[in-house]
Amino acid sequence: MVSGVSDELSGGIIGFLPDATFVIDTEGVVIAWNRAMEEMTGVAAQDMLGRGDYEYALPFYGVRRPMLANLIFLPPEELADRYDHIAHVGDTLVVDIHIPDFQGRGAYFWAKASPLYGAAGEVTGAIETIRDITDRKMAEQDAEANRRRLSDIIDFLPDPTMVIDTEGVVIAWNHAMEVLTDVPAAEMVGRGDHEYALPFYGQRQPILADLVFLPPEELADRYDHIARDGETLVVDIFVPAFRGHGGYLWAKAGPLRDAGGNLTGAIETVRDITERREMEERLARSNAELEIAREIQQSFLPDVIPQLGGYDIAGRCVMAKEVGGDFFDAIPFEVMALGDETLGVLIADVAGKGVPAALFMALSRVVVRVNAHVHPDPARTIEDANDVIAQDASAGMFVTMFYGLLSEKRRELTYVNAGHNPPLVFRGDGMVERLLPTGIALGARAGREYTSSTVAIGAGDVAVLYTDGVTEAIDSLFGMYGEERMLDVVRAHDGGTALEIVDAIFAAVEDFCAGEPQFDDITLLVIKGK
């Protein structure tokens, strides 16, 4: 009976099978060894048929030992205790195994063994089929190694990054993504069905990485807010559900391909740019506010300087920032308790820059104008102005100021220099006179006394009132423009109008700085006798 079965098995069905297959009887004697088994092992069927004592294990293990087919004969409980790596499908056993010594190179095999039954239902033998799955296993190991390398690289990236395969299953979720979403990689890797969208949108929906798989025309039709750079997609979007209060996210996604160029997945990098966007919005509001402040401050400067008979007067102020602390003024006689033919002239420099200096400048200008209306003596005007300013000045805030009354009738300037750069008076004979300080800067201390001085401004004389932004302008070598260069410009243009002298000084300073940024406000007021 066994012989008949053996002939049928070896010569018929089993011989036809493409997988390497052998059959043993209940005594462990080989009764079938097909051609595919001959090719796998290099052992001919005639050399194996009828052999027992585990000889069929020699081509695989190099030693005599049980094969999977032998385990068919073990009681189920013993099999479970001794071979927990073997899968059971009914009475069939299945295993994946690595045999390191197979043909000197080692190999991975998949094997399946089942019992053979006689007519009465008794077990008469066992059949085992074996497949060499080395190539598949090596490919799987290479793929796993590549996945691990990719995962290591992605985990190293500072930006939150995730990878999905073409089925939308997460295969990488780096540490930065864990921090961003509060979702550990262990809870996300292997998940699909758009679960990775939940930490961002609070619901399952496609994210940018999913859109990588869409045809370009469909993407363009449905997602016109997404930018394309080749195959890479970029988006900047507000996500209302992010972290419960909404946030701005920047994301970039691109395809992943294997060595053959086949699409294997998509990678997406996300950045939380909420703070940056909020800062940009604050900056935009601040810039708008600064622009309003600049316009208000510019309104404090005279659009047109009142002209006084016998004099040509011009001035200009250029701020280093949107707002600054320099200013000049020309106060017509209608504003002051003076007679006709008198003009108040003022130039000042507030310590500091920006909005605080601009506010202090506005206070100083208004206070001086109010006191000029009350006092005909510049010294009294500045003394009272100083008392008011000192009371309102923050720590370290002060203003240097030159204030004077220019008289057409007397052809002279009565002035107070409160710690300001000494204005220069160029005489027609080439001499230069400096109008030195007659008191300290305003706001430093209340109750200070100031002295008025008088200087003649006759025909051909030029008085140049300036702030230190002129003389302390620097070039690329950190050299300062200085007073001497300004003197040279005035001498070279003393035949021109007051406006031409102002223009010449500004041009000379600009040429000297040669593109270097302006670090301080620059203000000039030129009075020329005629």
Which domains does the chain show, CATH number per domain?
2-132 (3.30.450.20), 138-272 (3.30.450.20), 301-529 (3.60.40.10)
Quote the CA–CA distance of 364 and 384 in Å, as a whole number: 11
Please give the residue that has the higher pLDDT: either 282 or 466. 466
Please give the residue that has the higher pLDDT: either 118 or 222. 118
H or E element in which residue 116 lies: strand 107-117
Structure tokens at 410: 């007397």
CA angle 108, 112, 114 (to 5 degrees): 160
The closest alpha carbon to 66, from 24, 31, 116, belongs to: 24
The closest alpha carbon to 407, from 342, 314, 460, belongs to: 342
Asked whether the predicted pLDDT for residue 517 surpasses 90, the reply is: no
pLDDT 10s digits, 78-129: 887 777 789 989 899 999 999 998 988 899 999 999 999 998 999 999 999 9
Q: Point out which residues pair with 103 in neighbouring strands.
A: none
Say how far residue 269 (Cα) sits from the centre of its chain: 13
H or E element in which residue 344 lies: strand 342-350
**Confidence (pTM):** 0.54
Asked whether the predicted pLDDT for residue 4 surpasses 50, the reply is: no
Q: Which range, of 258-272, 295-309, 471-485, averages the lowest pLDDT?
A: 295-309
Angstrom CA distances, 136 to 36, 97, 113, 148, stand at 19, 13, 21, 18
Q: What is the mean pLDDT of residues 305-332?
A: 87
Determine the pLDDT at residue 376. 86
pLDDT 10s digits, 352-406: 777 777 778 888 888 998 888 888 899 999 999 999 988 877 667 899 999 999 9
Three-state DSSP string of 48-109: HCCCCCCHHHHHHHCCCCCCHHHHCCCCHHHHHHHCCCCEEECCEEEEEEEECCHHHCCEEE
Mean of the per-residue pLDDT values of the chain: 88
8-state DSSP, 183: -
Quote the CA–CA distance of 527 and 200 in Å, as a whole number: 67
Angstrom CA distances, 419 to 107, 149, 309, 495, stand at 95, 71, 29, 30
How large is the C-alpha radius of gyration of the chain? 48
Asked whether the predicted pLDDT for residue 1 surpasses 50, the reply is: no
Determine the pLDDT at residue 2. 41
pLDDT 10s digits, 430-444: 899 999 999 999 998
DSSP, collapsed to helix, strand or coil, labels residue 449 as coil
Kindly give the pairing relationship between strand 123-132 and strand 107-117: antiparallel
Determine the pLDDT at residue 337. 52
